[in-house]
Amino acid sequence: MAKRVVQVAVVGGGPGGYTAAIRCAQLGKKTLLIEKEFLGGTCLNIGCIPSKALISAAGLVHKLKGAELIGISAAPVQVDLPRLQEWKNSIVSKLTGGIGQLCRGNGVEIILGAARFRDPHTLLVETPEGREEVAAETVILATGSVSATISGFPCDEKHILSSTGALALNRLPARMIVLGGGYIGLELGMAYARLGTQVVIVEMMKQLLPGADLEASRLLTQQARKLGMEVYLDSKADQLEFSGSEVKLFIETAGERRPFQADAVLVAVGRRPNTEGLDLNQAGVQLLPSGFVRVNTDTLQTTAAHVYAIGDVIGNPMLAHKASREAEVAANIINGKPAAMNYRCIPAVVFSDPEIASVGLTLEEARQAGYDPDVAKFPMTACGRAMTLREPDGFVKITFDKARGKILGVVTVGAEASELIAEAALAIEKDLTVADIAHTVHAHPTLAETLMEAAKLAIGEPIHLLPRRRI
């Protein structure tokens, strides 16, 4: 049996894993990256990157269909889904190839295979060429997550789809039922609605995006219905039947049970940690009751001091950029450098229509944390740039401490919210106040002005809104 001896072995080659491997190698450690399936992990190959390609294409279709409103006539818009898939796959291929080059360029060795612990410091890796044994001083677990399933709804990726199957369709479904109104269900459901599919979305909770800002959720519900989507809240699917090439699904809402027919059902009810087959008990690594790996959130060490864990496998928020930052922190700690996670500064983005992005505390969370908070909100309808983009729906909302104006949290809803949130995250990271943002000159006309305008409102110096009454 082939045997390797390394200082750091990283299990999982997604955004967390490859970042950890690169950083450890940069700091002088002999590092091995073990990936079971493909470099880049779920995010790059079957998650955030391909989904954003689909969403981008769907947004273009939507804009073209509405171009006559601004005096532009276009021929009937047609979608060639196989060609769209080729374009999407070409992006993924370029990025995965780039990750391999970055790893090797930084001195990271790579093994493609499935790893499991034999003992605390030994991994057995099943590769296409056979089994390899890896002895490592330190191990970083970055195995990510997989799609959660619903009993009675087996994903065959033809009629019953996971997010992976929904991103690989070569034929546009005429009708689709989406089970789950979280970010995955909304992003993909809205994308297919924009491409021309009739979409029904079913959510068990009383709002779309459970746990998100309620005002943002309500706006998103309105927009979904404007797209022609049927939205059923506080509802559940309780029976599935197949009829030829169609699926028949029964949905129960407020005690009323109704049948729905569709070409495809997308199961988007969340994700669960990917720990199967790792034999973590052999290394002394414990799981939480939820199934996530137990870690010290300050050091990212598991219950085995020499084993670290990062990313989706340790729990929410399940975000690629959170995993990447944890990777850098873990690598620095392993190498004796001071580092710590600041989870309050991790932005979250939903690439819906419109986009929703947030960072920091909500008003209620701020109160629970002992602050005396206030909120200032600026609507996108008062932003000239948003109007010229034909995307006037949304707002920027700043939660701040009344005592000294410290920015505690920001929610942005609207065009390019995913880009606008970076400034807000920096403001919270650097402990800035609303006055700091209000007195920073922002270019005009831009969407970024909306954060400045909300901050001006917070300090009582609004220019493009009337003064407000404090809450």
Give catalytic residues, as residue numbers: 444
Residue with tokens 């049970």: 257
Residues whose CB falls within 8 Å of the CB of residue 30, separated by 6 or more in sequence, listed in order: 6, 7, 8
- Extract the tokens encoding 431: 């402990």
How far is Cα 308 from Cα 25, in angstroms, rounded to an integer?
16
Cβ-in-10-Å burial (0-12, 13-18, 19+) of 47 comes to buried
How far is Cα 188 from Cα 352, in angstroms, rounded to an integer?
8
Residue with tokens 């199967």: 276
Sheet containing 407-414: give its strands across: 348-350, 355-360, 407-414, 395-401, 373-379
Cβ-in-10-Å burial (0-12, 13-18, 19+) of 444 comes to exposed
Residues whose CB falls within 8 Å of the CB of residue 75, separated by 6 or more in sequence, listed in order: none
What is the rounded end-to-end Cα distance, in angstroms, of the chain?
69
Strand partners, 34: 11, 111
* Count of CA atoms in the C-beta half-sphere (13 A) of 432: 21
Residue with tokens 């920001």: 410
- The answer to whether 454 and 444 are in contact (CB under 8 A) is no
C-alpha dihedral sign at 209, 213, 215, 219: negative
Parallel/antiparallel/unpaired status of strands 230-232 and 198-202? parallel
Give φ, ψ of 160 to 5 degrees: -105, 115
Write the single-letter amino acid at 275.
T
Of 104, 128, 133, 79, the C-alpha closest to 25 is 104
Residue with tokens 């880009």: 419
Residues whose CB falls within 8 Å of the CB of residue 97, separated by 6 or more in sequence, listed in order: none
